[in-house]
């Protein structure tokens, strides 16, 4: 993760990597939505990546930065307690614990992440076209 | 003679370099569109171009004045004023950045076209056809 940012391709590449981490987290949240556990400690907790700006710190290139997903953190939310005495996973008091995944929130997050991934692709293809034109200068 | 040809291209090459640098900055903004507390940045193209041609605001009018040191000093990179500030402290507005990026790209290509026509003009002058 400590590779240096040399040019515009590195900027977009790492930003896309960060968005992919975000999409992975969303996918695992959605896959585990409504998972059931028999005690609160075992219940699935939704995960969210933490984004951090990475600067290119050579003085010549100030203002150039990209983003990294530095960690993926578990959200501090309590599982949903439900009274279902007949359930095979129920504890001795008859409770089950559902994973507290907010599906709507995850969907919106997923749309935003994919939109931002596409933006970075757009940057790359534009820059690629510009560089090819520059390379063909005077022909 | 060679210097003459160099002078013909100076403004274009400086403009291309600045446009490229600005593209990098705008790409950084787009990359950080979802980072909390990130502040969008940009350069003032006209000011930077004038400075790179050393006809900037700091002219020397007496022997005791110190002229601008190097043409290649890093430019002044400013922070963008957001139209709609957001709660997480991020000042990137995707639509603004995309418009700026598109505009900057078009202007880069226009500069390339200027260089191309300059080149073909010089070539026909050299050939004398």
Environment class of B97 (CB within 10 Å of its CB; exposed 0-12, middle 13-18, buried 19+) = buried
> Pick from A75, A80, A82, A70: which is nearest to A26 by CA?
A75
3-state secondary structure of B34: coil
Q: Which residues have CB under 8 Å from B91's CB, separation 6+?
A: B38, B39, B40, B79, B80, B81, B82, B85
| CA–CA min distance B64, chain A (Å) | 29
What is the pLDDT, as a whole number, of residue A63?
A: 76
Q: What percent of chain B is helix, strand and coil (3-state, nearest 5)? A: 55, 5, 40
Nearest CA in chain A to B33: A116
ipTM rounded to 2 decimals = 0.81
- In this prediction, residue A89 carries a pLDDT of 86
Q: What is the mean pLDDT of residues A16-43?
A: 91
Query: A65 contacts in B (CB within 8 Å)?
Result: 28, 31-32, 38
Residues of chain B above pLDDT 70, percent: 85
- Mean pLDDT is lowest, of A4-8, A109-113, B92-96, for A4-8
| Mean pLDDT along residues B79-97 | 89
Structure tokens at A30: 């959605």
**Residue pair A64/B32 in contact by the 8 Å Cβ criterion:** no
The number of C-alpha atoms within 13 Å of B30 and in the hemisphere containing its C-beta is 30
Distance CA B42, CA B108 (A): 16
Instruction: Mutation target for B interface from A7, A12, A53, A54: give the one with most B CBs within 10 A.
Output: A53
| CB atoms near residue B126 (< 10 Å) | 9
Per-residue pLDDT at B72: 47
Mean pLDDT for all residues in chain A: 88
For residue B109, list chain A residues with Cβ-Cβ distance below 8 A. Answer: 130, 133
Q: Mean pLDDT throughout A6-21? A: 90
Q: In this predicted model, what pLDDT tens digit does every residue of B39-65 receive, in sequence order?
A: 998 988 888 888 777 654 455 677 776
Asked if the Cβ–Cβ distance from B32 to A116 is below 8 Å, we say: no
- Contact, A4 vs A105, CB < 8 A? no
pLDDT (average), residues A64-80: 89
Whether residue B47 lies within 8 A of chain A, CB to CB, comes out as no
Query: How much of chain A exceeds pLDDT 90, in percent?
Result: 52
The rounded distance, in Å, linking the Cα atoms of A65 and B32 is: 8
With residue A48 as reference, give the H or E element that holds it: strand A47-55
């Amino acid at each position: 993760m400590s590779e240096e940012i040399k040019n515009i391709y590195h900027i977009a590449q790492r930003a896309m990597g960060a968005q992919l981490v975000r999409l992975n987290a969303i996918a695992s949240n959605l896959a585990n939505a409504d998972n059931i556990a028999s005690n609160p400690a075992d219940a699935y907790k939704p995960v969210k990546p933490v984004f951090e700006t990475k600067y290119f710190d050579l003085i010549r290139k100030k203002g150039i930065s990209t983003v990294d997903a530095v960690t993926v953190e578990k959200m501090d939310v309590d599982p949903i307690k439900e009274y279902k005495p007949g359930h095979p996973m129920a504890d001795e008091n008859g409770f089950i614990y559902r994973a507290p995944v907010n599906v709507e929130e995850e969907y919106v997050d997923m749309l935003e992440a994919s939109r931002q991934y596409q933006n970075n692709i757009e940057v790359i293809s534009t820059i690629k076209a510009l560089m090819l034109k520059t390379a063909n200068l005077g022909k | 003679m060679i210097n003459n040809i160099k002078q013909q291209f100076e403004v274009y090459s400086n403009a291309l370099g600045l446009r490229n640098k600005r593209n990098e900055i705008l790409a950084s903004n787009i990359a950080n569109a979802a980072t909390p507390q990130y502040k969008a940045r940009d350069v003032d193209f006209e000011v930077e171009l004038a400075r790179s041609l050393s006809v900037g605001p700091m002219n020397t009018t007496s022997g005791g004045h110190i002229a601008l040191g190097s043409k290649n000093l890093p430019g002044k990179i400013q922070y963008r004023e957001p139209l709609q500030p957001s709660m997480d402290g991020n000042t990137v507005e995707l639509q603004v950045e995309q418009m700026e990026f598109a505009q900057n790209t078009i202007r880069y290509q226009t500069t390339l076209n200027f260089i191309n026509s300059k080149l073909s003009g010089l070539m026909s002058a050299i050939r004398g056809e």
